[in-house]
Amino acid sequence: MLLIDGSYGEGGGQVLRTSLSLSVVFGKPFKIINIRKNRPKPGLQPQHLTCVKACAEISGAELKGAELNSQELIFIPKKKPINKTYTFDIKTAGSTSLLFQTLLYPLALSEGGELILKGGTHVPFSPPYHYLKYVFLPVVDSLGLKAEVSLEKAGFYPKGGGRIIAKIPPWEKFRLPKFAEGFDPENIYIISLISENLPSHILERQAKSAKERLLKKKLKPKEEILEKIKSDSPGTMVFIYSIDRDKVKRVGFTELGRKGYPAEKVGESAVAQFLEFLKTNTQIEKHLADQILIPISFAIIKNNKKNFKYTTSKITKHLLTQAWLIPQFINEINIKILGKEGKSGEVKIERK
């Protein structure tokens, strides 16, 4: 049985989620200790416990230690997931996006399935729904992994209550895309979103400030999308995403609104993140850099390719942690991170 130290690297929920996902894919049992040891509230919190129970449900896993605040867990998967509709409710504003990414690979690499996920959809410290739809999924589609998501209701902090639907077919064709050097934005999109109980002028001010900041840098957005959406808690967001001229690479940058934070600042901050990324002249932004390590690893071992590499705007603890963890489940893979933490660098995924 694999023994995983949950305090390694970023020491948060990522170590647990990646271990669960890969354990189900390969049928490898594991024990994880020191779960979320580096966090203010260590151990399993509601969103992590939902991930554990969801992975256990789809794989018929035996569990030990699956309770709130537990810092140790034994997970023994018993079967491959079957194609059906699964419903999981986090019951807090915990991230549905992170739950989706945890379940994506076990379902895609078996018979596929449909997910109904309830919880947070636009919350801090996780990719919002729009990032999944417009950045993450289109990029992994270039690897042959296809999935569709739709948003029925937004979930902002603190109540959550959002609902997303995901349809995941079996992953049948594995390929590795060709990334052009750097990132040359061909199309830029502004999405300004607010809950329907907030005044429309917030929506417009967010979008206007984002557009003005882009135009100052001679970057013309192709489209501005203004969305009002149902939610239990009030919330706002600006999401900037861009498609590279190679038609494969995408980047996305999020700023969530909050009480006392001017709408103009929300728009400006989202654009500022985009501009900072462009200055690095790298291919992949820091969040996607660690999120695509798993699907690229699968594409390499299934496609008999020897390696794949890309540059990233920032080497994060999340990236270093994934590079350490994935090869423990996928023995054929070696992941090298060239550069210093906090700086831009290069990621190399190699077949041993």
| Omega of the bond leading into 170 within 30 degrees of 0 (cis) | no
DSSP for 8-74, written as a single string? STT-SHHHHHHHHHHHHHHT--EEEESTTTTSSS-S--HHHHHHHHHHHHHHT-EEES-STT-S-EE
CB 240 within 8 A of CB 253: yes
SS3 242: strand
Produce one character per residue of 212-224: b if its CB has 16 or more CB atoms within 10 Å, e if not. ebbeeeebebeee
Let me know: does 253 contact 190? Beta carbons within 8 Å. no
Distance CA 42, CA 70 (A): 8
Catalytic machinery residues: 318
Nearest residue to 192 via CA among 147, 246, 235? 235
